[in-house]
């Protein structure tokens, strides 16, 4: 049965571009072509059953001998990565899977990458999992025992091609057209806070945050030379029940998870009296002071999707019109089979105050309107996946989640015109495939300052989760500590993760396991406007353990690892370089400070101990003439050095024949001859920031100017490195005009 030119079922095997992916396809599995969504490269997997149920498990074929990478929910809130080669390696709650198939007999044949995306269909949600017979299975559930079905035709979407990043991008865009329940990231408005350095109050105060604490924190950061322009007032500002801590109520970092919201305004820690001793909005005062005295541009505050961890208190004074009722969470078998969660342990006993889905827009709108009146610019909406556990009696998990997400986005649109929303604890497809507006998503589990096992995992999880999440929203890192043994490691990853697109593993890392295999370095790539960057990290030694069902250290002393990097590790380097690029680049290594010119296809080695990193900036070389070539690098002392260069133009100024030299010439003579010639070209750069600026030039420049004023520069003839100093600009976001004559 041929379904598309590339995907078919032949003799009981699922074949993609001539390569067998699954064998032993059961008779109840149905393939539907994806041509209806405008792309012939895809197909949908469906299944039928003999009886109606609210939960089905459909084996869809045997997976053996093919490398794959998947993102699965190791706990209710968050995904992480897992690599494997057969069906039994596929974890419960797998929401994204990429399979590699090669032609063993022909090393020159292209590698085919096939992505599997389990979907939402009607009131049901599908995920992938494996079993001990190496079968890949679809787990289909509604989350409501009264919502049943005996079939689904569009449960998993498959898409295939030779470039894995393009395959994923095309697959999600095809689904956007097919499902019409979400929008791709490229169609969403990115909030402006993404351009600014920020501070979140959580790790400083946990739930003990106060108005005075926020004020002192901003003052301390400013005095330390790092004034934040973005502020998140995290959990601890809201009015919640003041009840004695119960022995069976779990408390972690100050959060009492069964506590419920009792009002939409700030609590007593943020209240303030005016000159007449009358109470005024303390939150407004905090926001005004942050913006007026500390030049903070955006202030966000935290709230849970259900209001608070334990929801909204039923019939709380002034909140009766939300029709809140106690509901008791029921987790799906897949989540229960992975990591238990202390939040759910609390709520299973005490229940959650669930605002009626028909009233939840009113709740959000009144909350957000009040926050906006205080000058708040947006919200960090946390604990989102709790809603999937409360679908009973509301049409199931998909229906309830979609009601909440649509109400939230409508309120954000009305009250926060900059699309001010960060989605957090939200890695379920119920929500991901229901977001038409939310543009920023926390990409991994928390930064845990006191958990040594967490730091390498934090970096690798963001890289692999982003392959999937980055198609829907801009991935956002958790906060981290600048005074911490792993501070540089975390800072470097965040610096290269916040560029023009978003950080992703290099092709040669897609199916390696840089957290567990003991031999692989993690390499992640990104692009700036005029260059590419590859971050290399030794992440070995820790991972999520399916036996102990928690994150743990499995190798207390992982070894030093060696690998290599090249320009083509940046998948889109050719597009950045332009049509006339000959493949040559210079590479600047941030930590070592070394600059090397690389011929096309050449690589440089890198050796790292655990929790070490290096950032390589690949800057395409521009051939200006037969003897002059040039490449801008950027601010040499910044992690994301090449992010400083925003524009690069070359204007030829001379048609004179250039001098050639036979044999070796001393660098002094070369410099003398170079300085006596007429300029061949003027290189014009737009650069932001301040500090040591560097560029590569094959010849000694004649002159350097910053904003039309001559400036001193140094030239290292051994490496071709030109350096000059950019002063601190008087305006924020200022772009210097740097001109270099060669």
What confidence tens digit (pLDDT) does each residue in 536-589 have? 999 999 999 999 999 999 999 999 999 999 999 999 999 999 999 999 999 999
Q: Of 12-26, 239-253, 445-459, which range is least confident?
A: 239-253
The radius of gyration computed from the CA coordinates of the chain, to the nearest angstrom, equals 28
Which helix (H) or strand (E) is 372 found in, with range? helix 360-373
What's the average model confidence in pLDDT over 458-474?
A: 96
Confirm if 290 and 299 have CB atoms less than 8 A apart.
yes
Q: What is the pLDDT of residues 380-415, one digit of tens each?
A: 999 999 999 999 999 999 999 999 999 999 999 999
- Closest by CA to 131, choosing from 205, 193, 189, 63, is 63
User: H or E element: which one contains 462?
Assistant: helix 454-469
Going by the DSSP 8-state scheme, the letter that residue 613 receives in this structure is E
Q: How many other CB atoms are there within 10 angstroms of residue 162's CB atom?
A: 11
pLDDT tier at 257, thresholds 50, 70, 90: confident
- Other residues' Cβ atoms within 10 Å of the Cβ of residue 619: 32
* Structure-block tokens of residue 602: 């050449």
**In which residue are the tokens 């209710």 written?**
76
Q: pLDDT value at position 275?
A: 67
Instruction: Give the strand order in the sheet containing 522-527.
Output: 504-505, 522-527, 532-537, 613-620, 585-589, 595-598
- Angle subtended at Cα 482 by Cα 481 and Cα 485, rounded to the nearest 5 degrees: 80
Question: Mean pLDDT across the stretch 146-175?
Answer: 96
Distances (CA, A) of 694 to 311, 583, 641, 687, 716: 53, 21, 9, 11, 11
Site of tokens 């969504």: 37
- Using CA atoms, how far residue 498 sits from 52, 462, 525, 620, in Å, is 47, 12, 11, 21
Question: In this predicted structure, what is the pLDDT of residue 664?
Answer: 39
Q: How confident is the model at residue 277 (pLDDT cuts 50, 70, 90)?
A: low
Question: Which residues, in sequence order, are CB contacts of 557 under 8 Å at separation 6+?
Answer: 541, 610
Residue 500: per-residue pLDDT: 52
Domain architecture of the chain: domains with CATH:
7-179 (no CATH), 187-442 (3.20.20), 489-620 (2.60.40.1180), 628-742 (2.60.40)
The CA distance from 541 to 537, in Å, is 12
Better pLDDT: 416 or 672: 416
What pLDDT does residue 292 have? Answer: 97
Q: Which of 15, 13, 12, 186 is nearest to 114 (CA)?
A: 15
Nearest residue to 541 via CA among 523, 525, 560: 560
Using CA atoms, how far apart are residues 403 and 398, in angstroms rounded to an integer? 9
Distances, alpha carbon 39 to alpha carbons 33, 96, 174, 698, in Å: 9, 20, 7, 47
157 vs 150: CA distance, rounded Å: 19
CA–CA gap between residue 159 and residue 174 (Å, rounded): 9
- Which residues are paired to 440 by β-bridges? 474
Token duo for residue 364: 């959000």
CA 499/CA 476 separation, integer angstroms:
11
**Residue 668 pLDDT greater than 80, yes or no:** no
Whether residue 672 is predicted with pLDDT greater than 50 in this model: the reply is no
> In the chain, pLDDT over 70 holds for what percent of residues?
92
Question: Phi/psi of residue 460, each to 5°?
Answer: -70, -35
Strand 378-382 with 421-423, pairing: parallel
What is the arithmetic mean of pLDDT over 363-368?
98
Instruction: Find out whether 97 and 128 touch, Cβ atoms under 8 Å.
Output: yes
Residue 615 CB partners (closer than 8 Å, separation 6+): 492, 495, 496, 533, 534, 535, 536, 589, 590, 591, 639, 640, 641
Q: pLDDT, tens digit, for every residue of 168-206?
A: 999 999 999 999 999 999 999 999 999 999 999 999 999
Q: Which two tokens stand for residue 366?
A: 């009144």
Please give the residue that has the higher pLDDT: either 663 or 451: 451
> Given a cut of 70, is residue 245 above it in pLDDT?
no
Tokens for 430, please give them. Answer: 């119920």
Largest CA distance in the chain: 90
Predicted local distance difference test score (pLDDT) of residue 258: 85
Eight-state DSSP code of residue 307? B
- Check: CB of residue 92 under 8 Å from CB of residue 112: no
* pLDDT value of residue 32: 93
Q: What is the pLDDT averaged over residues 9-13?
A: 95
Cβ neighbours of residue 298 closer than 8 Å, sequence gap 6 or more:
191, 192, 193, 196, 198, 229, 230, 231, 377, 378, 418, 420
d(CA 455, CA 209): 25
Bridging pattern class, strands 421-423 and 94-101 = unpaired
3-state secondary structure of 411: helix
Number of other CB atoms surrounding residue 216 within 10 Å: 12
Q: Where are the beta strands (DSSP E) in 580-690?
A: 585-589, 595-598, 603-608, 613-620, 622-623, 629-635, 645-652, 681-688
* Residue 187: CB atoms within 10 Å: 12
What is the DSSP secondary-structure string of 522-534?
EEEEEE-SS-EEE
What is the C-alpha to C-alpha distance for residues 482 and 221, in angstroms, rounded to an integer?
Answer: 11
Instruction: Write out pLDDT tens, residues 496-520.
Output: 986 555 679 999 999 999 999 999 9
pLDDT at 420: 98
328: which residues sit within 8 A by CB, 6+ positions away? 347, 348, 351, 352
């Amino acid at each position: 049965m041929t379904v598309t030119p590339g995907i078919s079922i032949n003799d009981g095997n699922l074949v993609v571009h001539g390569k067998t992916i699954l064998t032993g396809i059961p008779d109840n599995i149905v393939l539907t072509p994806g041509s209806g969504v405008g792309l012939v490269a895809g197909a949908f997997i469906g299944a039928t059953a003999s009886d109606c149920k609210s939960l089905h498990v459909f084996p869809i074929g045997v997976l053996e001998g093919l490398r794959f990478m998947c993102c699965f929910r190791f706990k209710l809130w968050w995904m992480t990565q897992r690599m494997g080669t057969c069906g039994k390696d596929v974890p419960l709650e797998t929401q994204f899977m990429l399979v590699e198939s090669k032609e063993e007999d022909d090393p020159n044949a292209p590698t085919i990458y096939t992505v599997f995306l389990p979907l939402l269909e009607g009131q049901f949600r599908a995920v992938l999992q494996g079993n001990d017979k190496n079968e890949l299975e679809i787990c289909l559930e509604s989350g409501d025992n009264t919502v049943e079905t005996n079939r689904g035709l569009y449960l998993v979407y498959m898409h295939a091609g030779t470039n894995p990043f393009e395959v994923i991008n095309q697959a999600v865009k095809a689904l956007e057209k097919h499902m019409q329940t979400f929008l791709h990231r490229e169609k969403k408005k990115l909030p402006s806070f993404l351009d600014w350095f920020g501070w979140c109050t959580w790790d400083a105060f946990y739930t003990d945050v106060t108005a005075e604490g926020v004020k002192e924190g901003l003052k301390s950061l400013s005095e330390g030379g790092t004034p934040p322009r973005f502020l998140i007032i995290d959990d601890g500002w809201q009015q919640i029940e003041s009840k004695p801590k119960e022995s069976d109520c779990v408390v972690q970092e100050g959060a009492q998870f069964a506590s419920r919201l009792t009002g939409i305004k700030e609590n007593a820690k943020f209240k303030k009296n005016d000159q007449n001793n009358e109470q005024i909005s303390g939150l407004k005062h905090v926001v005004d002071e942050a913006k007026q005295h500390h030049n903070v541009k955006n202030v966000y505050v935290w709230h849970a999707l259900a209001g608070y961890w334990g929801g909204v208190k039923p019939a709380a004074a002034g909140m009766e019109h939300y029709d809140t009722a106690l509901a008791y969470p029921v987790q799906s078998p897949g989540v229960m089979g992975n990591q238990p969660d202390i939040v759910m342990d609390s709520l299973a006993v005490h229940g959650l105050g669930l605002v009626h889905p028909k009233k939840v827009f009113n709740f959000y709108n009144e909350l957000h309107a009040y926050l906006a009146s205080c000058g708040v610019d947006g919200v960090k909406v946390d604990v989102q996946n709790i809603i999937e556990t409360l679908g009973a009696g509301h049409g199931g998990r998909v229906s309830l989640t979609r009601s909440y997400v649509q109400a939230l986005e409508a309120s954000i649109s009305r009250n926060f015109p900059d699309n001010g929303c960060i989605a957090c604890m939200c890695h379920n497809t119920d929500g991901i495939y229901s977001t038409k507006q939310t543009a920023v998503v926390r990409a991994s589990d928390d930064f845990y300052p006191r958990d040594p096992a967490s730091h390498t995992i934090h970096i690798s999880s963001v890289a692999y989760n982003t392959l999937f999440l980055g198609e829907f929203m801009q991935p956002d890192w958790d906060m981290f500590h600048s005074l911490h043994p792993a501070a540089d490691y975390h800072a470097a990853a965040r610096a290269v993760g916040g560029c023009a697109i978003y950080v992703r593993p290099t092709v040669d890392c897609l199916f390696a396991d840089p957290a567990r295999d003991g031999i692989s370095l993690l390499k992640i790539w990104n692009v700036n406007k005029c260059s590419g960057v590859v971050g290399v990290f030794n992440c070995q030694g820790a991972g999520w353990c399916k036996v102990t069902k928690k994150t743990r250290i499995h190798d207390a002393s992982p070894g030093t690892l060696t690998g290599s990097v090249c320009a083509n590790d940046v998948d889109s380097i050719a597009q950045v370089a332009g049509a006339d690029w000959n493949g040559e680049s210079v590479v600047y290594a941030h930590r070592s400070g070394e600059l090397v010119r690389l011929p096309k296809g050449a690589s440089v080695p890198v050796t790292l101990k655990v929790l070490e990193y290096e950032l390589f900036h690949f800057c395409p070389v521009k051939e200006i003439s037969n003897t002059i070539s040039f490449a801008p690098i950027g601010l040499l002392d910044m992690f994301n050095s090449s992010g400083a260069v925003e524009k690069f133009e070359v204007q030829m100024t001379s048609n004179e024949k250039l001098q050639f030299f036979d044999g070796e010439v001393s660098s002094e003579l070369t410099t003398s001859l170079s300085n006596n010639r007429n300029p061949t070209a003027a290189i014009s750069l737009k650069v932001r920031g301040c500090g040591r600026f560097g560029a590569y030039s094959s010849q000694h420049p004649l002159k350097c100017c910053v904003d039309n004023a001559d400036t001193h520069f140094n030239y290292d003839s051994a490496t071709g490195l030109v350096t000059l100093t950019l002063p601190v600009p008087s305006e924020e976001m200022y772009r210097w005009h740097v001109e270099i004559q060669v």
